[in-house]
Amino acid sequence: MSKITAAITAVGAYVPDYVLSNDILATMVDTNDEWITSRTGIKERRILKEEGKGSSFLGIKAAEDLIAKKNLDPKEIDMVIFATATPDLPVAATAAYAASEIGAVNAFSYDLQAACSSFLYGMSTAASYIEAGRYKKVLLIGADKMSSIIDYTDRTTCIIFGDGGGAALFEPNEEGLGLQDEYLRTDGVGRQFLKIEAGGSILPPTEETVANRQHFVQQDGKSVFKYAVSNMADASTKIMERNNITGDDVDWLVAHQANKRIIDATANRMNLDEKKVLMNIHRYGNTTSATLPLLLSDYEKQLKKGDNIVFASFGGGFTWGSIFLKWAYNS
């Protein structure tokens, strides 16, 4: 029998209609378009404005896009993983609600949280279930409503993040396509540099924590940038070395969209032509768990069967890593 690998066989995406441009942000905090663009590469980001709608809404829309394009019967989905740093509610898994809403009535589901690396880690998890032969169709959703945890008076964070959702379907493959290798890492030192102080079990919500704005994302930008540049580049080059491939062999880099300078540094370490670097940070900003599937969806028509793709991500915790995958279909 041929070895079973886990291949991506369909993708979907969704972003909200409202566009928060750099010029609009400049009316809210002390910043400007040139400052934001030169430091991050971001020109605009999408924001989910409707009341009562959270990350599940973004993820469900992305999943429905995938289901429609694939002409997939949702009853055939065995499992749903919802990668997110901004679940709808504590305790009640966002995945369970999303699975029910899309009609995946035969699937079990759960949330996966690894900050900006959530989708990357979810790829590893989905592939493991497929390779084990337990399930045939695993739907991985990555979605975050980052605007729900961003302080729009803090220019160190509000310029970076946006809202969005993406999805990928994993299925068995016997042609040697799909996920080839992974290199995933964590380091708890990151807890002090990128966090939300209140709302968890250490510091539950109080009137004081709300007044002190401790329920919003806080980051030490310089420290996060330093760790992200070195670790994302290290992981990407290591995955190449382990699989005996060079920059010439890599067709595409699908990197987490946090900062254009971090992406450029990773591509440079990999000796990649800039034409091979997928980029949409200028349109969406950092959508956390949604960045990787949004890239796949935006560039789907350019991806060809057999293409060598390196995925790379870095997130709070710290969490980071790289995955080497061979693309399984022509759009």
Domain boundaries, the chain: 5-176, 180-327
Catalytic residue among 22, 116, 158, 173: 116
Mean pLDDT of 49-75: 98
Q: What is the pLDDT of residue 143?
A: 98
pLDDT at res. 236: 98
Instruction: Please confirm, yes or no, whether 32 is among the known catalytic residues.
Output: no
**Cα distances (Å, whole numbers) of residue 101 to 61, 78, 90, 94, 193:** 10, 15, 19, 11, 36
Q: What is the pLDDT of residues 178-236, one digit of tens each?
A: 999 999 999 999 999 999 999 999 999 999 999 999 999 999 999 999 999 999 999 99
What is the average pLDDT value for the chain, to the nearest integer? 97
Whether residue 248 has pLDDT greater than 90: yes
The verdict on domain 5-176 having CATH code 2.60.120.10 is no
* Fold match flag (5-176 vs 180-327): yes
Tell me what pLDDT residue 298 has: 98
The CATH architecture one would assign to domain 180-327 is 3-Layer(aba) Sandwich (3.40)
Dist CA 138 CA 130 (whole Å):
7
Span 22-35, mean pLDDT? 96
Helices (H), the chain: 22-25, 33-40, 55-70, 94-101, 118-131, 155-158, 207-211, 221-242, 260-269, 281-284, 291-298
Q: Is 286 a catalytic residue?
A: yes
- In the chain, % of residues over pLDDT 70: 100
Residue 75 vs residues 100, 173, 177: alpha-carbon distances, Å: 10, 21, 25
User: Which residue among 22, 173, 231, 286 is the active-site one?
Assistant: 286
Tell me if 314 sits within 8 A of 228, measured CB to CB. yes
- Please list, in sequence order, all residues whose beta carbon lies within 8 angstroms of the beta carbon of residue 30, skipping any fewer than 6 positions away: 155
What pLDDT shows up at residue 23?
97
- At 88-125, the pLDDT tens digits run 999 999 999 999 999 999 999 999 999 999 999 999 99
Amino acid 2: pLDDT: 76
Catalytic residue among 22, 158, 256, 259: 256
Tell me, yes or no, if 282 is annotated catalytic.
Answer: no
Helix, coil or strand: residue 72: coil
The pTM of the full predicted model, rounded to 2 decimals, is 0.97
pLDDT tens for residues 255-312? 999 999 999 999 999 999 999 999 999 999 999 999 999 999 999 999 999 999 999 9
Conformational region of residue 199, where left means phi above 0, alpha means psi within -120 to 50, and beta covers everything else: left
Mean pLDDT of 161-172: 98
- Cα 326 to Cα 311: distance, rounded to the nearest angstrom: 11
Token pair, residue 156, equals 């160190």
Which residues on neighbouring strands pair with residue 145, listed in sequence order? 163
- Alpha carbon of 96 to those of 17, 54, 101, 114: distances in Å? 26, 14, 9, 18
Confidence of residue 1 (pLDDT cuts 50, 70, 90): low
